[in-house]
Amino acid sequence: MSLLLSLAPPVTRADLGTTATWSAPVAEASTSIAWADCDRDGDLDLAVANDGQPNRVYRNMGDHTFQLAWSSVETDESYALAWADYDGDDNPDLAVGNNYGQPNQVYHNEGNCTFALAWSSAEEDWTTSLAWTDFDLDSDPDLAMGNRNQPNRVYRNDGGGIFCSLCIDSLFISKPCFGPRPRATLLPL
């Protein structure tokens, strides 16, 4: 990989320019953005999390412009976004992390950058970061949530949009977080 990086020309300040190539049509209280090719046309599309306003996905038109493709019905205080194909249909789905008192959500990509609410967390944590990975090596992505002043959580994807909650505290992992908190087990390093 370092060979590939050394062959690429360095990015200079002039390469970025001083004027935005595109600006959203309205000013919003945006808190997070994430890129993915949600319509599978080869261009990266842009998801935007907003605070107290609908979250949005803008489709990349391939000519340095973007068009609004989707707005969430919910107007939660969203702080984090992450893309992954949680159901294996080759369309990237969108996870949204929200403020305390609001569930986190996963939206299913219905194709062509349109989304339907597929899952909401039972917990209502103050989520500030999200990440997808297949931590249990069962070939589907699992969702981790970083929370402010609350336990961090991992939701194991059991297939078909069923997510099981696990609490993560530092290097300790506990069993599902329903009812009294069970004893934690140290993870191997």
Provide the 3-class DSSP secondary structure of residue 182: coil
Asked if residue 183 has pLDDT above 50, the reply is no
Cα separation of 104 and 170, whole Å? 21
The pLDDT of residue 167 is: 58
Could you tell me where the DSSP H helices lie in the chain? 2-7, 13-16
- At residue 70, what is the residue type? W
Burial status of residue 124 (CB atoms within 10 A of its CB: 0-12, 13-18, 19 or more):
middle
Residue 11 has pLDDT above 90, yes or no: no
Q: Is the pLDDT at 32 greater than 60, yes or no?
A: yes
Does residue 181 register a pLDDT over 90?
no
- Please report, in angstroms and rounded to a whole number, the separation of the first and last CA atoms in the chain: 26
Using 50, 70 and 90 to split pLDDT, how confident is the model at 19?
A: confident
99-113, 129-143, 164-178: the lowest-pLDDT one = 164-178
pLDDT at 117 over 90: yes
Tokens 């205080």 sit at which residue?
77
